[in-house]
Amino acid sequence: MENLLEIKNLVVEYTSIKNETKSVVRAVDDVSLCIKTGEIYALAGESGCGKSTLSKAITKLVKPKSGDILFEGKSILKHTKEEARQYPHNVQMVFQNPYSSLNPKMKIGEILREPLDINTKFSKNRKSAIIKNALDDVGLAQSALDLYPHEFSGGQRQRIAIARALILNPKLLIADEPVSALDASIQAQIINLLKELKESRELTILFISHDLNVIRYLADRVGIMYFGKLIEENYTTNIFNFPREDYTKILLSSAPTLA
């Protein structure tokens, strides 16, 4: 399999100034990893280890201090204007909290149309067909289009957020703790939806979670992060059966088993 995404020696730092003292947090510390076309790559690790920062660097929400991120072999840090314009068609993200990631004042139809209005010059009919298709794909009725986010449950809202992420037909979907805010019974539905979408849409997925049970079920490969570093990486079965690093063993032993 080819590499869709390649991260090379990535360093991301946050600088803050408090009481005239500058402090620097190195959230991602020299991380290198590759995500292959068509796989689900999971990033695991405790809260604060840098998972979200890494995903934000891939989606250009934060700027790396050093290192490189290649998408289909091209550095996203050296994009031309045209490549930058194209990038949202390649990479999209779903966030943890479906309550805050959807604008409460917009109807679902508007929420799903917005990425098309911003990023394409498609005809009205074509946009409507894409929106209809995305709603179908996430298992929501067309009647959702005229409703507002508050009229949906958490699981349904996450389906809407996934539909929005699919609107531009991206190659890579980054899902950052997409089920952590949901009830356990709903979690399984969303996880299965991601699995189905991977097949039907030929998606590559970067799945971020602190929940190893979910990762074990979903991922092809797993990377373990610890204090900004990628300390171990392997195929899912190997990570769970033959963890190499002590920290990975601790992480595995502290994961509750599925009831």
Ligand X SMILES: Nc1ncnc2c1ncn2[C@@H]1O[C@H](COP(=O)(O)OP(=O)(O)O)[C@@H](O)[C@H]1O
Contact residues for ligand X, defined by CB under 6 A: 14, 16, 25, 27, 45, 47-53
Is residue 92 a contact point for Mg ion (CB under 5 A)?
A: no
DSSP 39: -
123 vs 64, 110, 127, 146, CA distance in Å?
Answer: 37, 15, 6, 20
> CB under 5 to 8 A by kind: which of Mg ion, ligand X, none does 64 bind?
none
Coil, strand or helix at 138: coil
Cβ at position 218, least distance to ligand X in Å: 18
Question: Which residues 6+ apart lie within 8 Å of 126 measured at CB?
Answer: none
Closest CA to 161 of 142, 146, 140, 188: 140
Whether the CB-CB separation of 30 and 229 falls below 8 Å is answered with yes
> CB under 5 to 8 A by kind: which of Mg ion, ligand X, none does 27 bind?
ligand X
Instruction: Tell me the two tokens of residue 58.
Output: 């891939």
Residue whose beta carbon is closest to Mg ion: 52
* Cα atoms in the 13 Å half-sphere on the side-chain side of 84: 7
Radius of gyration from C-alpha coordinates of the chain: 19
Cβ at position 24, least distance to ligand X in Å: 9
Span interacting with Mg ion, options 48-56, 122-130, 167-175, 194-202, rule CB under 5 A: 48-56
Cβ at position 146, least distance to ligand X in Å: 35
Nearer to Mg ion, 52 or 236 (CB): 52
Nearer to ligand X, 18 or 78 (CB): 18
> CB under 5 to 8 A by kind: which of ligand X, Mg ion, none does 25 bind?
ligand X
Instruction: Tell me the two tokens of residue 12.
Output: 């991301």
Nearer to Mg ion, 52 or 92 (CB): 52
Nearer to Mg ion, 21 or 47 (CB): 47
Nearer to Mg ion, 52 or 204 (CB): 52
The answer to whether the Cα torsion of 52, 180, 174, 108 is positive or negative is: negative
Question: Which residues 6+ apart lie within 8 Å of 228 measured at CB?
Answer: 26, 27, 28, 29, 31, 49, 50
Count CB atoms within 10 A of the CB of residue 119: 15
Cβ at position 249, least distance to Mg ion in Å: 23
Nearer to ligand X, 111 or 175 (CB): 175
Cβ at position 209, least distance to ligand X in Å: 10
Nearer to Mg ion, 135 or 165 (CB): 165
> CB under 5 to 8 A by kind: which of ligand X, Mg ion, none does 123 bind?
none
Task: Return the residue of 52, 92, 209, 236 that touches Mg ion, per CB under 5 A.
Answer: 52
Helices (H) and strands (E) in the chain, counts: 9, 10
Whether the CB-CB separation of 171 and 4 falls below 8 Å is answered with yes
Cβ at position 50, least distance to ligand X in Å: 4
**Binding stretches for Mg ion (CB under 5 A):** 52
